[in-house]
Chain A
Amino acid sequence: MSAISLPTDISRRRDRRRGYAESLKGWTFVSPAALLLMLIYLVPLAMLLALSVTDYQLGAVVTGFVGLDNFERAFADPVFQRAFSNTLLYVAIVIPFGVGLALVIAILIHQRRRTRSLYEIIYFLPVTATLVAMATVWQFILHPRLGPVNKLLQTLGLPETHFLSDPALIVPTLAAIGVWQVVGFNVILFLAGLTAIPRELYDAARVDGASAPLDRFLTVTWPQLGPTTMFVTVTTSITAFKVFETVAVLTKGQRGTEVLLYAIYLEGFQYFEMGYAAALTLVFMTFVLLLSVWQTFHLDRRVHY
């Protein structure tokens, strides 16, 4: 028996040694990416988690553990609640218009041959422009007395409108600027999606009798754009949730126009309540994550690849 067991024993040991060498090689290959991933994403996230259960203030000497107090405070805080509902309203306007308008524009541009790239550039300009700088332009455009929009309204016999100071209008106005900013990028994405639709499908639809524009859209374009639409919707909603610049420049959160990111910014960098701001950030991240996951899975079931 021993004569037989001896060689297998040796070979097993050799196998194990080779296994260690193999796994060491594997870890070596993985480590640069793993290390970067840790440093860039996981460590900051862990720090955020740690901060959110403390009362740490920027520059404070003593910091204490406060458990879930920060979260309790957040959900009872009227400012945070207002920021939450304002953000939801903002997102609810930006998603349908930012996606729908982009789709319509993309379809219109797609049929242009020579002027297509010109339109692409025009619609893409707001994406390249800095929103902070452009916000000041919007401030002028929407100014109650000096702005061209109000001039236009006056010539139409409508009353002077305070877009950026009437509490009922501020969030929709900010959302309109948000749509303006996001549409160009979405147009480019939709154009890419439209270009990928095979011509023969449109030919087949025409032969089958789907030659009217709406029939063609419902039979070929819309179903074929499914994956693009899903991607555009998810990215647009994330962008919308992160609204900050326009609020910071145009309203500074006055007249009840706080949005989530602005509220976090105030807590963290104006009042130096880092612990509380970390808790708010965590709530914000969880919410955006849940929404994105829901959108992806909900839309994924209706999308054909």
Chain B
Amino acid sequence: MTLGLELRGLDKSFEPENPVLRGIDLSIRRGEFVSLVGSSGCGKSTLLRIIAGLEQADGGRVAIDGREVTYLEPKARRIAMVFQSYALYPHMTVAANIATPLIMSRLHFLARLPLLGALAPGRRQVRSTIDRAVEEVADQLEIRPLLGRKPAQLSGGQRQRVALARAMVRQPSLFLMDEPLSNLDAKLRVHMRGELTDLHRRVGATFVYVTHDQVEAMTMSDRIALMERGAILQFGTPSELYSAPANLRVAQFIGTPSINCFPAEIDSAGTVSCLGRPVSGMVTSETRQRASLAVRPESIRLSARSEDVVFGATLRRIEHHGSEYILFAEPQGRDQLVRIRVSGAALEGQPLAEGQALTIAFSAADAHLFGSDDRRMDVSLFDAPVRLQSA
């Protein structure tokens, strides 16, 4: 099976001592929707520009649909790109904007000239096929009534659609999007998320989508590549990234409110202890190092079971989110706020007040263990009674 996009060992640095990309490898299946996520400066936009051909990598290869394109100009790569600022040509009408890629590829250079072009043979037939293609795309995106307007007369959402139409009109095999929703207001952004997913399903092309917003990445993508400092920390489905993060920084990046981290130690026997208490039933093959135990806010409970890691805390703040509550609790003797997500139903008949003492608990099965190098550690889980017997 050919890959929609294949990247092998991409390196890039603008200053020699400060590489932007460090050996990026990525294989994206044809028709997949992949997000490149990371905080700003992680190299995701540079990577997208290298895929587009706007930037040349220092080393490595790029292949689109099984065809090596490393040294090809953007126009020869059969790609389309949607920019953060939309980058519409302000002096052209919407129709002319959408038509530009087709005019460039289908009309001979002389036929494109402002005045002389009208004399070129066959120009009118080509122009009419282009006009038809433009109208077709405009119908798909429901912007037909806007075709005669200039970009300055459009709202942000309309400009977004025009930029999408310009990308779609030449039916590329690869769509590249550089934070296309970040200039829209919150409500429209949620709406466009749905539209982009629909569009991807309809067009069936490969999508590479750059964003710093993990919610966008989680909701739209088939797979996510999470980047940090020029490297991909993890490449997997949204649920893999959420439930089995390969790296502490992945765990911290994905999920709102973000994951809770507790310092942990591993003794010579591979037993894990957290906040000075042994985590019952958690054993790892690696020994003797500092580690971190990370627990999702929804995995922390307000009632303890026998095998749980339990500690007392003071409730500092309550956030109402409609159907659920986010509690911020400070464990005794620690300068840290633990985030706890509880459903409204679970709190019914159990009124909480700020400053109140709580018992918070999580079980070893819900905790992720990361080593001192932030990498995920394999753990073996036993039921607490079993471990007690063997001890």
Which of A's residues lie within 8 Å of B, judged by CB? 198, 200-201, 203-212, 215, 218-220, 223-224, 226, 304
Q: Are A223 and B54 interface neighbours, CB within 8 A?
A: no
Given contacts A200-B83, A219-B100, contact A211 B89 (CB under 8 A): no
Partner of A200, one of B73, B85, B100: B85
Q: Are A207 and B91 interface neighbours, CB within 8 A?
A: no
Q: Does B90 belong to the interface (CB within 8 Å)?
A: yes
Q: Does B369 belong to the interface (CB within 8 Å)?
A: no
Given A200-B83, A209-B105, A304-B90, 19 further pairs, Cβ under 8 A: A198-B85, A198-B87, A200-B84, A200-B85, A201-B89, A204-B81, A205-B89, A205-B100, A206-B53, A207-B54, A207-B80, A208-B75, A209-B101, A210-B104, A212-B109, A219-B89, A220-B89, A223-B89, A223-B90
Contact with A along B52-90 (1 / 0, CB 8 A): 111000000000000000000111000111011101111
B106 — nearest CB in chain A belongs to which residue?
A209
Q: Are B73 and A211 interface neighbours, CB within 8 A?
A: yes
Partner of A209, one of B89, B104, B150: B104
A220 to B92, alpha carbons, bound, how many Å? 10
A210 to B74, alpha carbons, bound, how many Å? 10
B88 — nearest CB in chain A belongs to which residue?
A204
B79 — nearest CB in chain A belongs to which residue?
A207
Given contacts A209-B101, A215-B112, A219-B100, contact A204 B75 (CB under 8 A): no
Q: Are B54 and A203 interface neighbours, CB within 8 A?
A: yes
Interface-centre pick from A204, A207, A224 (highest chain B CB count, 10 A): A207
Interface SS of chain A: helix
For chain B, the count of residues having a C-beta within 8 Å of the partner chain is 28
Given contacts A207-B75, A304-B90, contact A215 B83 (CB under 8 A): no
The 10 closest A-B pairs by CB, nearest first: A209-B104, A204-B87, A304-B91, A209-B75, A223-B91, A200-B87, A208-B101, A207-B74, A207-B81, A200-B83
Q: Does B114 belong to the interface (CB within 8 Å)?
A: yes
A302 — nearest CB in chain B belongs to which residue?
B91
Q: Are A206 and B74 interface neighbours, CB within 8 A?
A: yes
A218 — nearest CB in chain B belongs to which residue?
B114
Q: Does B166 belong to the interface (CB within 8 Å)?
A: yes
CB neighbours (8 Å) of A226 from chain B are 91
CB neighbours (8 Å) of A209 from chain B are 74-75, 100-101, 104-105
CB neighbours (8 Å) of A208 from chain B are 75, 100-101, 104, 166
CB neighbours (8 Å) of B92 from chain A are 223
Q: Are A206 and B54 interface neighbours, CB within 8 A?
A: yes
A304 to B87, alpha carbons, bound, how many Å? 15
A–B Cβ pairs within 8 angstroms, 16 of them: A200-B83, A201-B87, A203-B54, A203-B87, A204-B81, A204-B83, A205-B100, A206-B73, A206-B75, A207-B54, A207-B74, A207-B75, A207-B79, A211-B74, A218-B114, A223-B91
Q: Are A211 and B54 interface neighbours, CB within 8 A?
A: no
Distance (whole angstroms) from the CB of B55 to the closest CB of chain A: 10
CB neighbours (8 Å) of B81 from chain A are 203-204, 207
Which of B's residues lie within 8 Å of A, judged by CB? 49, 52-54, 73-75, 79-81, 83-85, 87-92, 100-101, 104-105, 109, 112, 114, 150, 166
CB neighbours (8 Å) of A210 from chain B are 100, 104
CB neighbours (8 Å) of A304 from chain B are 90-91, 150
Distance (whole angstroms) from the CB of B210 to the closest CB of chain A: 14
CB neighbours (8 Å) of B100 from chain A are 205, 208-210, 219
A215 to B101, alpha carbons, bound, how many Å? 12
A218 to B49, alpha carbons, bound, how many Å? 23
A226 — nearest CB in chain B belongs to which residue?
B91
A210 — nearest CB in chain B belongs to which residue?
B104
CB neighbours (8 Å) of B54 from chain A are 203, 206-207
Interface-centre pick from A205, A208, A215, A219 (highest chain B CB count, 10 A): A208
Distance (whole angstroms) from the CB of A136 to the closest CB of chain B: 44
A204 to B89, alpha carbons, bound, how many Å? 9
CB neighbours (8 Å) of B88 from chain A are 204
A205 to B81, alpha carbons, bound, how many Å? 10
A210 to B49, alpha carbons, bound, how many Å? 17
A219 to B166, alpha carbons, bound, how many Å? 15
Interface-centre pick from B53, B85, B90, B112 (highest chain A CB count, 10 A): B90
CB neighbours (8 Å) of A205 from chain B are 89, 100
Interface-centre pick from B87, B105, B150 (highest chain A CB count, 10 A): B87
Q: Are A215 and B104 interface neighbours, CB within 8 A?
A: yes
A223 to B84, alpha carbons, bound, how many Å? 21
Distance (whole angstroms) from the CB of B296 to the closest CB of chain A: 38
Distance (whole angstroms) from the CB of A228 to the closest CB of chain B: 13
